[in-house]
């Protein structure tokens, strides 16, 4: 075999030499033969003719020899590619349109694949991430409740199903010391099992173990690589020393690796969760940020869910209602990856589908272009066939031409994709743990190669098939006979239908998303966001309730100073400003029991917020009935609450909720009845697109429960909002320098951010639909022009027989309109079938929304008619004499 490889190299790289040798050999042979014939008595010219005859033609023999050489196929490909390149360069406008079209398609697809790959396809940066799951509980009305520590205690006993289960509570600490300014840290309090469960090890030091996860144990902390490098300059001696968190000493046990983050990309430190036995019995307070588990090998999520049903039943038996805060209706697990990418997933898949459509349209367009080229090159192809080129050779040659086009388009497309990545970054959720850089890498190139291959075969075989159908005899006659019957559907016309169908689906999708976005944009969220500034003054969570009185006093002082600041009209504190708790779609809720209610579950749940009296005034939330809180609602006065309309309607239907009473169903201490003194309008707290849920507000002086701590300061200003930010920051620092201030932003900005993903999706899809529309327009124009050229003869005869230009115009346009309408019908059917995919992304709009459907159809039909108009006009200009004579 080495001999053969040697030959291959020689054939490829010393092509001229090899060819020259062959030529020499054949000429020598010809000479030998001629001599032979001359010896038989022929004259030299005669002998030479005879010799040539016997040899069978030098070029023919050469071609035969080439056919058996090593690397023959490669050689053909290279020659075909060279020919293709020459042909393409000779027709620059055709080539430019084809390459640009394909580049658009492949660029969009590549860019979107980059995003999808980064967000959805890359494995989570943990060991065997496929077996990691997160836990949720379904409680009446709340489908994805955060877990309670008591739930976690039950789940972790299921050792047959889970290798390990770890709890995680998100907290916030202030890092001080070393003369640097106070820094607020995202800290996760986690079970020590978490690290072996995820299969991660620290870069330096060690992770904490069960011994450090006990009440009374030393304070230990693990810090992120980013914090270690940024704040501590990568000091190797930090491990074993202590740092100041909330003014207390915490010993640094270890530094995590650069690629580790859990559960958010922004998490800076991890501490033991230190759940007390009381907490582990607490089934009522749902505040754990996350509980993750690792399935045993071979156990599926379904099996785990089946087992969790039994756990739920056992728990209901052991903790009968209402002592424990009520039965969970159901527990379930889902793959951790799904939890992390849940919000982004549908939107990304939709956009991926959209760019695939663009690619298909682009391919159809290029196929149509190539098809008309085959028609123009008919003579050349037929000549080649007549000279002995096999069908497969012709097919291969046309395919090579497509491949050259596609490769050029691909290169340009990757450049498009690269340049759009900066813009597409916004599609990646900020909190994603697998924060790989967004770029065109090896995986993407592999994907690209596959796309290139498939699309080349797709649009490259169309002209090939057409060429194979050419009838040698007919075509060679120069004047092909043409009939005047109705033109049968041509391949190009099929492409028109396909392009129109794909475009209409994209247009409808874009229309629906835009309409959803606008509906949301003009939606009344229940509060007025303009001229409101929000600041987050996070509270040290470890002592959430311990220093309650001191903190209340501090908040009172801050509020007093803020209120009297110039430019401030009103100010209030709350436990959570609207739209501040929307992440990951998880909500903590409060169990309660309405007085006198006979309820199946014994308890109900509602969201809760603690506010200072002016809260509703700052946000201009209107009061429906009753009164707002005032300074008289103090710690020692009667416990009161204000509820929203939804809560009033749900639990006191057809009654006045005013003066009704309810109490908390918390496990530990008995709580007093709470009287409803007001009903306020619903506010879209959890996201503008989320329907309001039952909700209750409590005066801050009557706050109870360790999560009812005020964090967010809301300020209504008379002038421009941003100016006040720094003033207020300094004001807080002057009252308590250790109090970190974060998330200084306007309420309008929060609203903006809340709808930003929808806006981005809608605008992107609209852009893609626009591209589709223009590609389809070019495609229709190309095919119709081609059809008119094809029909020139027929049209000439019609004109000669007395058809008016108007008739001809109508005939051509009619054909285009028919094709378009056919495409629209196909597209509408396809759109109806895929309506479910998009339904989850819509807001107050149905997939069958008549306005969008009509608009899309009218727009597309208009563009299609426009695209047909020019070729139709051209058809009327056909001179019967010229058309007839030309054949």
Partner 1 sequence: MGEKRADLLRGTLDLLILKAVSLEPLHGVGISRRITQITKGAFQVSFGSLFPSLHRMEEKGWIEAEWRASDNNRRAKYYRLTQAGRGQLKAEERQWNQLVKIMAAAVQSS
Closest to 770 measured CA to CA, from 357, 374, 177: 357
CB of 79 to partner 1, least distance (A): 18
Nearer of residues 52 and 316 to partner 1, judged by Cβ = 52
CB of 51 to partner 1, least distance (A): 9
CB of 58 to partner 1, least distance (A): 10
Question: What is the rounded CA–CA span in Å between residue 680 and residue 645?
Answer: 6
Tokens 């009522």 belong to which residue? 284
Q: Strands 532-536, 162-176: parallel, antiparallel or unpaired by DSSP?
A: unpaired
Can you tell me whether residue 830 is helix, strand or coil?
Answer: helix
User: Which residue intervals of 377-390 are DSSP H helices?
Assistant: 378-386
Nearer of residues 28 and 866 to partner 1, judged by Cβ = 28
**Element holding 96 (H helix, E strand):** helix 92-116
DSSP assignments along 54-91, one per residue: HHT-HHHHHHHHHHHSTTHHHHHHHHHHHHHHHHHHHS
CB of 81 to partner 1, least distance (A): 24
SS (H, E, C) 695-711: EEEEEHHHCCCCCCCCC
Tokens 């051209």 belong to which residue? 874
Structure tokens at 830: 């396809």
CB of 472 to partner 1, least distance (A): 20
Tokens 């123009």 belong to which residue? 376
Contacts of 515 (CB under 8 A, 6+ apart): 845, 849, 851, 852
Nearer of residues 28 and 211 to partner 1, judged by Cβ = 28
Using CB under 8 A, list all residues that contact partner 1. Answer: 3-4, 7, 21-22, 24-26, 28-29, 31-33, 35-36, 54-56, 60-61, 64-65, 67-70
CB of 32 to partner 1, least distance (A): 5
CB of 66 to partner 1, least distance (A): 9
Closest to 712 measured CA to CA, from 578, 617, 549: 578
Question: What is the rounded CA–CA span in Å between residue 547 and residue 551?
Answer: 6
Nearer of residues 29 and 811 to partner 1, judged by Cβ = 29
CB of 468 to partner 1, least distance (A): 23
Nearer of residues 41 and 298 to partner 1, judged by Cβ = 41
Question: What is the rounded CA–CA span in Å between residue 390 and residue 426?
Answer: 53
Closest to 277 measured CA to CA, from 185, 186, 153, 183: 153
Nearer of residues 55 and 97 to partner 1, judged by Cβ = 55
Nearer of residues 65 and 837 to partner 1, judged by Cβ = 65
CB of 471 to partner 1, least distance (A): 24
Closest to 100 measured CA to CA, from 360, 365, 353: 365
* Residue 373 Cα distances to 322, 388, 453, 723, 786, angstroms: 79, 22, 21, 64, 9
Nearer of residues 28 and 546 to partner 1, judged by Cβ = 28
Nearer of residues 49 and 675 to partner 1, judged by Cβ = 49
CB of 88 to partner 1, least distance (A): 33
Question: What is the rounded CA–CA span in Å between residue 850 and residue 855?
Answer: 8
Nearer of residues 69 and 393 to partner 1, judged by Cβ = 69
CB of 40 to partner 1, least distance (A): 13
Question: What is the rounded CA–CA span in Å between residue 161 and residue 308?
Answer: 10
Residue 93 has, within 13 A of its CA and on its CB side, a CA count of 1
Q: Strands 269-272, 183-190: parallel, antiparallel or unpaired by DSSP?
A: parallel
Nearer of residues 59 and 471 to partner 1, judged by Cβ = 59
Can you tell me whether residue 205 is helix, strand or coil?
Answer: strand
């Amino acid at each position: 075999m080495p001999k053969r490889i040697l030959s291959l190299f020689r054939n490829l790289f010393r092509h001229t030499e090899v060819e020259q040798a062959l030529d020499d050999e054949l000429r020598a042979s010809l000479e030998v033969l001629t001599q032979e014939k001359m010896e038989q008595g022929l004259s030299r010219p005669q002998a030479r003719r005879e010799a040539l005859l016997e040899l069978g033609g030098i070029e023919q023999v050469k071609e035969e020899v080439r056919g058996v050489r090593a690397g023959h196929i490669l050689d053909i490909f290279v020659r075909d590619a060279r020919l293709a390149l020459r042909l393409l360069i000779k027709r620059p406008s055709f080539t430019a349109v084809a390459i640009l079209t394909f580049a658009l398609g492949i660029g969009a697809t590549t860019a979107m694949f980059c995003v999808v790959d980064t967000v959805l396809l890359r494995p989570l940066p943990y060991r065997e991430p496929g077996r990691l799951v997160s836990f949720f509980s379904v409680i009446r009305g709340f489908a994805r409740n955060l877990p309670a520590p008591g739930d976690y205690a039950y789940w972790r006993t299921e050792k047959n199903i889970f290798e390990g289960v770890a709890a995680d509570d998100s907290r916030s600490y202030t890092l001080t010391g070393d003369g640097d300014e106070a820094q607020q840290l995202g800290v996760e309090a986690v079970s020590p099992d978490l690290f072996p469960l995820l299969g991660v090890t620290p870069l330096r030091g060690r992770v904490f173990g069960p011994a450090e996860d006990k009440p009374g144990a030393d304070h230990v902390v693990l810090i992120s690589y980013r914090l270690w490098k940024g704040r501590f300059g990568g000091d190797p001696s930090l491990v074993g020393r202590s740092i100041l968190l909330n003014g207390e000493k915490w010993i640094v046990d270890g530094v995590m690796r650069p690629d580790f983050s859990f559960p958010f990309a922004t998490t800076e430190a991890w501490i033991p969760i230190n759940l007390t036995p009381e907490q582990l019995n607490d089934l009522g307070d749902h505040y754990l940020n996350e509980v993750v588990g690792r399935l045993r090998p071979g156990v599926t999520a379904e099996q785990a869910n089946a087992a969790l049903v039994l756990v739920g039943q056992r728990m209901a038996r052991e903790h009968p209602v209402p002592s424990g805060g009520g039965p969970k209706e159901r527990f379930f697990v889902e793959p951790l990856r799904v939890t992390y990418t849940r919000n982004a997933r549908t939107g990304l898949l939709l956009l991926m589908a959209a760019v695939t459509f663009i690619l298909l349209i682009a391919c159809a367009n290029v196929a149509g272009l190539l098809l008309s080229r085959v028609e123009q090159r008919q003579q050349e192809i037929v000549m080649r066939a007549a000279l002995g080129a096999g069908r497969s050779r012709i097919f291969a040659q046309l395919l090579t031409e497509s491949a050259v086009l596609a490769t050029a388009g691909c290169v340009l497309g990757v450049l498009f994709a690269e340049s759009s990545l900066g813009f597409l970054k916004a599609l990646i959720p900020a909190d994603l743990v697998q924060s790989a850089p967004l770029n065109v890498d090896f995986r993407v190139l592999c994907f690209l190669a596959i796309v290139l291959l498939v699309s080349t075969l797709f649009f490259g075989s169309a002209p090939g098939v057409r060429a194979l159908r050419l009838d040698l005899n007919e075509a060679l006659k120069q004047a092909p006979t043409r009939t005047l019957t109705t033109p049968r559907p041509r391949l190009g016309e099929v492409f028109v239908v396909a392009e129109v169908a794909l475009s209409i689906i994209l247009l409808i999708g874009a229309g629906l998303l835009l309409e959803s976005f606008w509906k949301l944009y003009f939606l009344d969220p229940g509060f007025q966001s303009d001229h409101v500034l929000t600041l987050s003054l996070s509270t040290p969570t470890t002592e959430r309730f311990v220093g309650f009185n001191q903190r209340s006093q501090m908040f009172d002082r801050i509020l007093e100073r803020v209120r009297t600041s110039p430019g401030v009209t009103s100010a209030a504190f709350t436990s959570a400003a609207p739209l501040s708790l929307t992440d990951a779609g998880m909500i903590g809720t409060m169990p309660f029991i309405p007085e006198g209610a006979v309820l199946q579950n014994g308890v109900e749940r509602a969201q809760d917020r603690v506010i200072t009296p002016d809260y509703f005034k700052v946000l201009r939330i209107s009061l429906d009935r009753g009164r707002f809180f005032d300074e008289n609602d103090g710690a020692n006065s009667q416990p009161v609450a204000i509820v929203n309309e939804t809560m009033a309607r749900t639990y006191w239907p057809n009654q006045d909720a005013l003066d009704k009473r309810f109490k908390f169903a918390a496990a530990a201490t008995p709580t007093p009845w709470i009287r409803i003194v007001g009903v306020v309008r619903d506010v879209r707290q959890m996201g503008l697109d989320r329907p309001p849920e039952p909700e209750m507000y409590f005066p801050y002086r009557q706050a109870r429960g360790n999560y009812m701590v005020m964090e967010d300061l809301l300020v209504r200003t008379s002038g421009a909002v941003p100016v006040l930010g720094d003033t207020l920051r300094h004001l807080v620092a002057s009252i308590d320098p250790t109090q970190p201030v974060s998330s200084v932003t306007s309420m309008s900005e929060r609203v903006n951010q809340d709808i930003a993903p929808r806006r981005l999706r809608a605008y992107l899809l609209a852009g893609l639909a626009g591209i589709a529309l223009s590609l389809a327009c070019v495609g229709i124009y190309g095919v119709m022009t081609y059809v008119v050229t094809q029909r020139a003869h027929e049209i000439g005869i019609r004109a000669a027989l007395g058809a008016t230009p108007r008739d001809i115009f109508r005939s051509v346009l009619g054909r285009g309109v028919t094709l378009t309408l056919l495409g629209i019908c196909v597209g509408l059917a396809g759109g109806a079938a895929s309506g479910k995919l998009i339904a989850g992304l819509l807001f107050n709009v149905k997939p069958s929304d008549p306005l969008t459907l009509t608009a899309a159809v009218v727009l597309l039909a208009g563009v299609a008619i426009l695209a047909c108009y020019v070729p139709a006009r051209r058809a009327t200009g056909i001179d019967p004499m010229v058309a007839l004579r030309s054949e």
